[in-house]
Amino acid sequence: MTKQNVVLSDVKSGLAITVAVSNSSLFSAAVQKPLTAPGGYITISRSKLLKKLETGGVTEGRINAWVESMRASSPTRIRPTPSSTQNRDEGSWMLKHPSALNMFEEITNASKGKQIVMFLDYDGTLSPIVEDPDRAFMSESMRRAVKDVAKYFPTAIVSGRCRDKVYSFVRLAELYYAGSHGMDIKGPTKSYRNKKRNQPVLFQPANEFLPMIDEVYKALLEKTKSTPGAKVENNRFCVSVHFRCVDEKSWTELAEQVRSVLKEYPKLRLTQGRKVLEIRPTIKWDKGKALEFLLESLGFANCNNVLPLYIGDDRTDEDAFKVLRNRGQGFGILVSKVAKETKASYTLQEPSEVMDFLHRLVEWKRMSARGHSRV
């Protein structure tokens, strides 16, 4: 397979490095020609409901679909008492997506002779979901768990947050960080595979959208200020409109405000997470592409000796789960207390279980190392 050099640059610092990558469609679509043809654009959603969220030709019915989807993404809403049928359905779902803690030995057995690479979402995975996104702090015990994992396995945080913001929460320099749903990637100065590298991996495939994103952020700040509880966050390569603290009666109004701004920007698209509307560039890039890019940067492109593990709780993490399914390599682990459609192989219920899983992984690695040292 031929290799080509891709220059990855940071507009602010002027830093630029060259990374050798395979001559694959992954980079030709996302780096060389990010905006050339409709075929290079990503669809807004996989489900029929979210397909209604496209901004072109928005009607009242489509606004209603937005609100309907906003309700569907609100796990904290009061749920009716489950019927026996619902209980059976959840039991069937757990059989298809068992606990990663219960199936820990199965996961470690699959890693024999392979290098585990860990990918972690932030909100709802390493920290609890909170009303104020600026206060989504991770605990010191979770930070220690992630730090210990990174001693044994290359580890990346993949978040919809601005990269600098998520770094300010995690504060571990030895990790890779992929912010803005993977559109802003930076690695540690000393990479796992190449201890002598003096410059970190840096990749920003949507740089040309920065002025547009800033415009939309300012417009949404102004447009949504009349809606109590709405919070607009500039995540550099995407804009997030949080409605966690907005009265449900005002969701239609908020959706209309977002629509009125977004309709002026056909090169941006709307996606949705847990009580957040997100405006992103229409380039073929997401958390799944970020996972592939990081594996390639670590030297694991087209390798059989790697086992990626991706833990996340959000709809946007499904892109990464889908990549792992399609590769037939590695496992997605969904963090959720409720049954939902997912491409993940396993589940964990909440961040405390994520921490337990990380602790067990580190202890397993330590025990394995001791066993090898005795031979």
Extract the tokens encoding 313: 């709780």
The least confident of 6-10, 81-85, 100-104 is 6-10
Closest CA to 99 of 352, 350, 359, 346: 346
Q: How confident is the model at residue 7 (pLDDT cuts 50, 70, 90)?
A: very low
pLDDT at 190: 56
What's the confidence (pLDDT) of residue 87? 66
Residue 248, pLDDT above cutoff 60 = yes
Mean pLDDT over residues 68-96, rounded?
Answer: 64
Which of 320, 318, 321, 313 has the alpha carbon at shortest distance from 353?
Answer: 313
State the pLDDT at residue 302. 85
Sign of the CA dihedral with 24 first, then 29, 31, and 36 last: positive
Element (H, E) at 145: helix 140-152
CB within 8 A of 349, min separation 6: which ones? 99, 335, 336, 337
Q: Count the Cβ atoms, other than its own, within 10 Å of residue 7.
A: 10
Tell me the pLDDT band of 341, cut-offs 50, 70 and 90.
very high
Tell me the two tokens of residue 269.
């698209």
Predicted confidence (pLDDT) at residue 221 exceeds the cutoff of 50: yes
pLDDT exceeds cutoff 80 at 209: yes
Give which of 317, 329, 293 is closest to 176, Cα–Cα. 293
Residues 264-284: what's their mean pLDDT? Answer: 91
Give the bridge partners for 279, in sequence order: 239, 270
Phi, psi of 342 (to 5 degrees): -155, 155
What are the sequence ranges of the domains in the chain? 33-72+207-281, 92-205+285-370
Same CATH fold assignment for domains 33-72+207-281 and 92-205+285-370: no
Quick one: 92-205+285-370 is in which CATH superfamily?
Answer: HAD superfamily/HAD-like (3.40.50.1000)
pLDDT at residue 98 tops 60: yes
Band (118; pLDDT cuts 50, 70, 90): very high
Range from 143-147, 151-155, 256-260, 273-277 carrying the lowest mean pLDDT: 273-277
Q: What is the sign of the dihedral through the CA atoms of 166, 170, 171 and 172?
A: negative
pLDDT digits (tens, 9 = 90+) for 10-69: 333 333 333 434 433 333 333 333 333 333 322 223 344 344 444 444 455 566 666 666
| pLDDT, mean of residues 129-145 | 94
Both tokens of residue 293? Answer: 């890019």
**What is the rounded radius of gyration, in angstroms, for the C-alpha atoms of the chain?**
21
Tokens 């949404």 sit on residue? 220
Share of the chain above pLDDT 70, in %: 72
- Residues 152-202: tens digit of each pLDDT: 999 999 999 999 999 999 999 999 999 999 999 999 865 554 454 455 678
* pLDDT of 147 strictly over 60: yes
Cα 194 from Cα 82, distance rounded (Å)? 52
Beta strands (DSSP E) in the chain are 3-9, 16-22, 115-120, 155-158, 176-179, 184-186, 202-203, 231-234, 239-242, 268-273, 276-281, 306-312, 331-335, 346-348
Most confident option among 52-56, 134-138, 299-303, 353-357: 353-357
Domain 33-72+207-281 of CATH type 3.30.497.10: no
Phi, psi of 305 (to 5 degrees): -100, 35
pLDDT category at 212 given cuts 50, 70, 90 is very high
Of 12-16, 94-98, 213-217, 294-298, give the range with the top mean pLDDT: 213-217
Stated as kind and residue range, the H or E segment containing 10 is: none
Pairwise CA distance, residues 16 & 348, whole Å: 39
- Position 66 scores a pLDDT of 64
Cα separation, 310 vs 358, whole angstroms: 12
| Mean per-residue pLDDT, 292-307 | 92
Query: Judging by DSSP bridges, how do beta strands 331-335 and 346-348 pair with one another?
Result: parallel
Average model confidence (pLDDT) across the chain: 81
Q: Which residues contact 196 (CB under 8 A, 6 or more apart)?
A: 190
